Amino acid sequence: MSRPTHRRPEYRKINKDLFVLTYGALVAQLCKDYEKDEDVNKYLDKMGYGIGTRLVEDFLARSCVGRCHSYSEITDIIAQVAFKMYLGITPSVTCNNSSRNEFSLILDKNPLVEFVEELPAGRSSLCYCNLLCGIIRGALEMVHLAADVTFLQDRLKGDSVTEIGITFLKKPEEKKYRRKK
Amino acid sequence: MADEALFLLLHNEMVSGVYKSAEQGEVENGRCITKLENMGFRVGQGLIERFTKDTARFKDELDIMKFICKDFWTTVFKKQIDNLRTNHQGIYVLQDNKFRLLTQMSAGKQYLEHASKYLAFTCGLIRGGLSNLGIKSIVTAEVSSMPACKLNSHFLQMFLVIFFFRSSVFLFVFVFVNLEEIENAKPILLLSILTFGVVICSILIFIFNYFLTHNGQ
């Protein structure tokens, strides 16, 4: 897919603003429709799942990632290639446990909350970026990897950083390598 | 940038999500379209603000529509509007022969009945953009053959003028009713009041029309 080279840099920013503003309008509408925060979070996750299942194909078509041999490799690719490609940021990856199936992506800059000052009153347990969790979960499922993705820390809720935790659920056979293509 | 894919997928999920949570029926269909249009309105308002931060002041409505057709459409949908038509009285028709949100759906008449759902957000986007540029409008869309679509925007200029005309008529009727005691002079008084009223109305219409056309620029 070729991009016109004479494109002014502001246009790219406005393109990203379109997605961020649309997402904001969506969350605002959901807050109006649903009373409970858990319902909104669940809905965002479900929506993200639907997007993720389709986005992974677009991702694999654009990037040329080869076969992955371990969970940490997969998490590195999500952080360094996928996030960079779609959101323009590179979160850092940390491994949370010794059995190497729990990882964290730490985002110091989250473009989705660019226009958000704070969560609305009475919505303190709203996971504003829950769509991201759904997207990662959906994408991993399409490459035959079951995972649990949640927000561990959220800057909008007062924490210092935004942290997404990915827990890969146990595969039936450890030795069989899953192709990432 | 690969943002396009993200926005397309998010938009499709939004449409399917809004319709999944609604029941069948014409009323619900209208409500869903309104919901999507209002979301687009919010986004359009914010987007046009960021976009026109450094651009020069627009000369007239046609200039605004040309901006929407060229720069705005290119940024949002990576291409320009293929055809812009107007009757120079507030109605503009934007035609896009390969609308980005419909190209992946079908290339002909298949799924034509569902196309309106996917255009509601864009109609709101245009309406929001125009609203923040000082123009009240109604934007509708029609699709005769995918992926081409036509967006009609109708500028609501005459609204205030008609309102003032109506209120002036009511004012004069009220005055007439209170002058019952002056029996002989009633018909003459009525005639003079009506004539005076018509003159005032015309002046008001002229003044407000002038301000409306030159205010939003």
Q: What is the mean pLDDT of each run of 10 residues along chain A (181 residues)?
A: 48 79 92 90 93 92 86 90 90 84 88 86 86 93 91 86 88 51 47
Q: Can you tell me the distance from the alpha carbon of B72 to that of B82, in angstroms, rounded to the nearest whole number?
A: 13
pLDDT at A141: 92
User: How does pLDDT run along chain B (217 residues), one tens digit per residue?
Assistant: 556 888 889 999 999 988 887 766 667 788 889 999 999 999 999 999 988 888 888 888 888 989 988 888 888 888 888 888 888 888 899 988 888 888 888 887 888 888 888 999 999 999 999 999 988 999 988 888 878 888 888 887 644 444 545 555 555 555 555 655 555 666 767 777 777 777 787 777 777 766 665 554 4
* Chain B positions in Cβ-Cβ contact with residue A129 (cut-off 8 Å): none
Question: What pLDDT does residue A176 have?
Answer: 47
Q: How far apart are CA A20 and CA A112, in angstroms?
A: 5
Whether cis (ω within 30° of 0) applies to the bond prior to A91 is: no
Whether A141 has its CB under 8 Å from any CB of chain B: the answer is no
CA distances from B86 to A56, A121, B95, B136, B151 (A): 43, 46, 11, 17, 12
Residue-level pLDDT at B142: 87
ipTM, two decimals: 0.83
Q: In the prediction, which pLDDT does B174 show?
A: 57
Please name the member of B9, B39, B75 whose beta carbon is closest to the beta carbon of A14.
B75
**What is the spatial distance between Cα A2 and Cα A62, in angstroms, rounded to a whole number?**
12
Structure tokens at B87: 């009757």
Residues with Cβ within 8 Å of B179's Cβ and at least 6 positions away in sequence, in order, are B186, B189
- Interface contact B76-A3, CB threshold 8 A: no
Q: What pLDDT sits at residue A4?
A: 45
Task: Please write the tens of the pLDDT for every residue from B75-131.
Answer: 888 888 888 888 888 889 998 888 888 888 888 788 888 888 899 999 999 999 999
A11 near B CB under 8 A: yes
Give contacts of B6 with chain A, Cβ < 8 Å: 19, 51, 55, 86
User: Which pLDDT score is estimated for B160?
Assistant: 46
CA-nearest residue to B16 within chain A is A47
Q: What is the pLDDT of residue A48?
A: 94
User: What pLDDT does residue A175 have?
Assistant: 44
